[in-house]
Chains A and B, each alone.
Chain A
Amino acid sequence: MKVLVAVKRVIDYNVKVRVKPDNTGVDLANVKMAMNPFCEIAVEEAVRLKEKGVATEIVVVSIGPKAAQEQIRTALALGADRGIHVETDEEVQSLEAAKLLKAVVEKEEPKLVILGKQSIDTDNNQTGQMLAALTGMGQGTFASEVAVEGEKVNVTREVDGGLVTVSLNLPAVVTTDLRLNEPRYASLPNIMKAKKKPLDSMSPTDLGVDVAPRLSTLKVEAPAARKGGIKVADVAELVDKLKNEAKVI
């Protein structure tokens, strides 16, 4: 079966972000970018399904500027078969991303669509659910285990309080949690091979989707900094401070 994986180019997770002085956003100039960590897990899961003989082809799609092709190439180096780049310099919000992905799903007709549960920049946690809604597919969000059985997929989900397993009819949408797997590293030969794999480029207009945002960002600010604390000498002093100074116990 064909598996579609959506990946996003975001700021590297180790970078300490800086809010722009004019409060219009976060400074992304000259900042290290990478594939969103949850998307890496999605790619890895698709590759494992292929290695098990469940998936036959892995198509990876990314929406974003020209530079997002780097992240598609990374996914190809990890084992995806071909890439689709929906190129736009506009900010694409979750609902519009879901509509673009729906158009790709209609063209490609995958049995399984795998996305990360959230991107670490906007922290929205919406796109997979929205894509599932627009296509009428079942959704297995926050997945820590995915088992395809015939025309169904069993997804174990991480929920508040523990784990829940659901069974979904295929085609279905799965979003990955961190514990689903440990992504592999791309080897140099695979990176070289990935350069030769097919990568189609198209625009939102080609897919018939209007990407105009519904939410406008009025300002972006740094959160209030915590004031510097003190170091205590021993446990007795700590308990005394908590009881008599902070009054929290």
Chain B
Amino acid sequence: MSILVIAEHDNSSLKSATLNVVAAAKAVGGDIDVLVAGENCSAVGEAASKIEGVNKVLVADNAAYGHFLAENLSLLVSEVGKNYGHIFAAAGTTGKDFMPRVAALLDVAQVSDIMSVESEDTFVRPIYAGNALATVKSSDSIKVVTVRPTAFDPVAGEGGSASVESVDGAHDAGVSSFVSEQLAESDRPDLGSAGIVVSGGRGMQNGENFQMLEKVADVLGAAVGASRAAVDAGFVPNDMQVGQTGKIVAPQLYIAVGISGAIQHLAGMSDSKVIVAINKDEEAPIFQVADYGLVADLFEAVPQLEEELKKVL
């Protein structure tokens, strides 16, 4: 059976999470087709055709899909996807929005946020904020699955030579419309795919103090994250939140500064390769998962860290 992967993109460029989803699809086995749905997204179709191991790219270029409205996208994906054995998408906010709708339209269950593929119908996924891992088997004819990108090593984005076909016609459910968006501007790497993440919590005390973390992040080429406490206190915008309700990250190095380590925060970062905790409370739960812990006042330690890193990098 062949697999349909829904590309994640912003109409001009392909998001790297798509490469991780293709890797998950590869673990299932079979032909992999990629669907690019958007508006003026031909460059994305082109980029998708170069992904290693992709058989065919389907491009649905229409104003109805320009803002990725779930009502319209789900009609398209359920129409195109009914001829496939599997439909895979990244478990980002876009995939989480339209994929359950696709599953319901096809009258099948969805398997959310898989971390591994055991066989073509069996997957492992986290439950209870990552405190347990469930192995689930789907008895449905079409497996609708969202993939946790950080759990799969990406395939190469170059070297493939898939054919590109366009999908005609527009599905417009006519019940929703785009009004506006406010996207956070950042020159730093994307939090979800960064190799190093420096995060701050309530201990940062205010938004200005996050500049200390940004300086460290700049030395390391890292992304900056935050705990829910820091977001709720208004220190930083909520798209920086790492945790059960925010982003799930699994970088090579995660540096938690002034973060106590609540269950909900650990759910978002405990698969990081190396965890560093800087906290003045030596009883903080974060030290139980940290590979390297430093009990210190972050207002002294963070500037020192920036200096020391500059010496060795």
Tell me the A residues contacting B by CB distance below 8 Å.
11, 13-14, 16-17, 19, 26, 93-95, 98, 117-118, 120-134, 136-139, 141-142, 144, 154, 157-169, 172, 177-179, 213-223, 226, 228-232, 234-236, 238-239, 241-243, 246, 248-249
Q: 28 A-B Cβ contacts within 8 A?
A: A13-B263, A95-B104, A95-B109, A120-B129, A124-B100, A124-B112, A129-B70, A129-B104, A138-B176, A142-B96, A144-B238, A157-B93, A158-B93, A162-B183, A163-B181, A163-B183, A166-B179, A179-B238, A213-B109, A214-B138, A229-B275, A230-B291, A231-B295, A238-B276, A239-B308, A243-B312, A249-B196, A249-B313
Q: Which of B21-29, B31-39, B40-48, B245-253 contacts A (4 or more CB under 8 A)?
A: B245-253
Bound-state Cα–Cα, A148 to B107, Å: 31
**Complex alpha-carbon distance, A148 and B127, angstroms:** 34
Contact between chains at A98 and B104 (CB < 8 Å) = yes
Question: B69 at the A/B interface (Cβ < 8 Å)?
Answer: yes
B311 partner residues in chain A, CB cutoff 8 A? 239
B203 cross-chain contacts in A, Cβ below 8 A:
none
B176:A166 contact, CB within 8 angstroms: yes
CA distance A217 to B311 in the complex (A): 51
Q: Choose from A26, A98, A165, A177 the contact partner of B128 (Cβ within 8 Å).
A: A26
Residues of A within 8 A of B135 (CB): 217-221
Q: Report the Cα distance A105→B212, complex, angstroms.
A: 51
Q: Are A160 and B239 in contact (CB under 8 A)?
A: yes
Rounded to whole Å, the gap between the CB of A231 and the closest CB of chain B is: 5
Interface residues of B in 143-159 (CB under 8 A from A): none
Decide yes or no: A168 and B176 within 8 Å by CB, A161-B184, A231-B294, A232-B294 being known contacts: yes
Q: Considering the chains assembled together, what is the distance between the CA atoms of A160 and B8 in angstroms?
A: 12
Q: B263 touching A215 by the CB < 8 A rule?
A: no
User: Out of B173, B220, B274, B295, which one reaches A246, CB within 8 Å?
Assistant: B274
Q: Which B residues are closer than 8 A to A by beta carbons?
A: 67, 69-71, 74, 92-94, 96-105, 107-113, 122, 126-140, 173-184, 192, 196, 220, 228, 231-232, 237-239, 244-245, 247, 252-253, 263-264, 270, 273-276, 282, 287-296, 301, 304-305, 308-309, 311-313
Instruction: From A120, A130, A177, give the contact of B244 (CB < 8 A).
Output: A120
Q: How far is the CB of B230 from chain A (nearest CB, A)?
A: 13
Which B residues touch A94, using CB under 8 A?
Answer: 100, 109-110
Cross-chain contact A242 with B74 (CB below 8 angstroms) = no
A107 to B136, CA, bound (A): 34
Q: Are B109 and A215 in contact (CB under 8 A)?
A: yes
In the bound complex, what is the Cα–Cα distance between A157 and B97 (angstroms)? 10
Closest to B231 in A: A179
Q: Which residues of B contact A14 (CB under 8 A)?
A: 263
Tell me, rounded to whole Å, the shortest Cβ–Cβ distance linking B195 to chain A. 8
With contact pairs A229-B292, A234-B294 given, residues A214 and B127 touching in the complex (Cβ less than 8 Å): no
Contact in complex: B126, A215 (CB < 8 Å):
no
Instruction: Decide if B175 touches A169 in the complex (CB within 8 Å).
Output: yes
Contacts A120-B129, A214-B138, A238-B305; A16 near B110 (Cβ below 8 A):
no
Q: Which residues of B contact A134 (CB under 8 A)?
A: 104
B131 partner, pick from A17, A126, A243, beta carbons under 8 A: A17
Residue of A nearest to B122 (CB): A218
Contact A16 B263, beta carbon cutoff 8 Å:
yes
B139 near A216 with CB under 8 A, answer yes
Please, how many angstroms separate the alpha-carbon atoms of A16 and B110 in the complex?
A: 26
Q: Is A161 in contact with B239, judged by CB distance below 8 angstroms?
A: yes
Nearest CB in chain A: distance from B31 CB, A: 25
Find the A residue at minimum CB distance from B138: A215
Complex Cα distance A219/B273, Å?
A: 26
- CB contact between A139 and one of B97, B232, B293 (< 8 Å): that residue: B97
Q: Do A164 and B67 form a contact, CB below 8 Å, given A158-B238, A217-B135, A248-B252? A: yes
* A177 and B282 alpha carbons, distance in the complex (Å): 32
Q: Give the distance in Å from the alpha carbon of A169 to the alpha carbon of B67 in the complex.
A: 17
Whole-angstrom distance from the CB of B118 to the nearest CB of chain A? Answer: 9
Q: When chains A and B are docked, how far (Å) is the Cα of A217 from the Cα of B112?
A: 13
B309 contacts across to A, CB distance below 8 A: 239, 249
